[in-house]
Structure 1
């Protein structure tokens, strides 16, 4: 059970890191607030 929870946690961290651009990798035209909102909706199911 702990292994499954850890995998879920790792997936969320990966999704955050690949969805929300950092300042050093910011792409013009991407709204971080919108990206975060979309990720939240995906996680909630």
Structure 2
């Protein structure tokens, strides 16, 4: 899944031209990134 490789990028605060619009559009992109990362990889 490409989503799994994308998650750490924004979970760690990284932005690029391809993901910035969708992250900003989500509103709480920082928390969403961390939540998605943990959902994918576990709470540890």
Bigger radius of gyration: 1
Q: Provide TM-score, normalisation by structure 1.
A: 0.36
Q: Which has the larger helix fraction?
A: 1
Structure with greater contact order relative to length (CA < 8 Å, sep ≥ 6): 2
Q: Provide TM-score, normalisation by structure 2.
A: 0.36
